[in-house]
Structure 1
Amino acid sequence: MARARSGDKGGTANIGLWARTDAGGAWLADVLTPDEVRALLPEAADLPVTVHPLPNLRAVNVVIDGLLGRGVAASTRFDPQAKALGEWLRGRVLDIPEALL
């Protein structure tokens, strides 16, 4: 339903998610609230999460401050540059409207 790309800027993880249709993009923007991102990614439960809707791109940008600690060189995460974080988020379970599948 959605595609993802992710990466890092210091200790901040950045995830871009986009849909193929306007309806899919609107659904992403509606569902992916900061609280929902924290629920889907428990490692972000206590961190500042910002979600930026990008309706003209059918997309959202998710920023998680502090997820990568002090940055790639100091991170103990299995994915210190957050390159797989978008796929990790896409792998979570959500109820998706049948019309979007």
Structure 2
Amino acid sequence: MRVPLGRLVGARSGDKGGNANVGIWARDDATYGWLVAELTAEKLVDLVPEASGLVVHRYELANLRALNFVIVGLLGEGVASATRPDPQAKGLAEYVRSRHIDIPVDLVR
């Protein structure tokens, strides 16, 4: 079934200099298991095409049922020199949550 990713997960984002940070968490173990298997750094780039060609680091936080992504250089030299919309990446999490993705039917509520 194809639905917005946010139907399954919560997210929060921000900036660290020129890097964007996106934390994504699942509400239960089954969803977290799917998230770990499905949402690779490469898949995140598919969801956020602006990250194409940039280094994306993924960190697993199993005790929180969460993944953290750092997109290196997405914000250029940082907020003070940014000319792009959302220079602090505060809306990036909701953008990722709005992206449609194929998910197993049994995870949809």
- TM bin (shorter chain): over 0.9
Q: How many pairs align? A: 101
What are structure 1's unaligned runs of at least 5 residues? none
Select the structure that is richer in helix: 2
**CA positional deviation for 1:96:** 1.2
Q: How far apart, CA to CA, are the structure 2 residues paired with 1:77 and 1:28?
A: 29
2:78 maps to which of 52, 66, 71: 71
Query: What percentage of aligned pairs have identical amino acids?
Result: 55
Partner residue in 1 for 2:13: 6
Normalising by structure 2, we get a TM-score of: 0.89
Equivalent residue letter for 2:50: E
Partner residue in 1 for 2:46: 39
Normalising by structure 1, we get a TM-score of: 0.96
Q: How far apart, CA to CA, are the structure 1 residues paired with 2:33 and 2:83?
A: 35
1:32, 1:51 within 8 Å by CA — same for their partners in 2?
Answer: no
Partner residue in 1 for 2:90: 83
Partner residue in 1 for 2:67: 60
**CA positional deviation for 1:72:** 0.5
What are structure 2's unaligned runs of at least 5 residues? 1-7
Partner residue in 2 for 1:92: 99
> Runs of at least 4 residues of structure 1 off by over 6 A?
none
Q: How far apart, CA to CA, are the structure 2 residues paired with 1:28 and 1:73?
A: 34
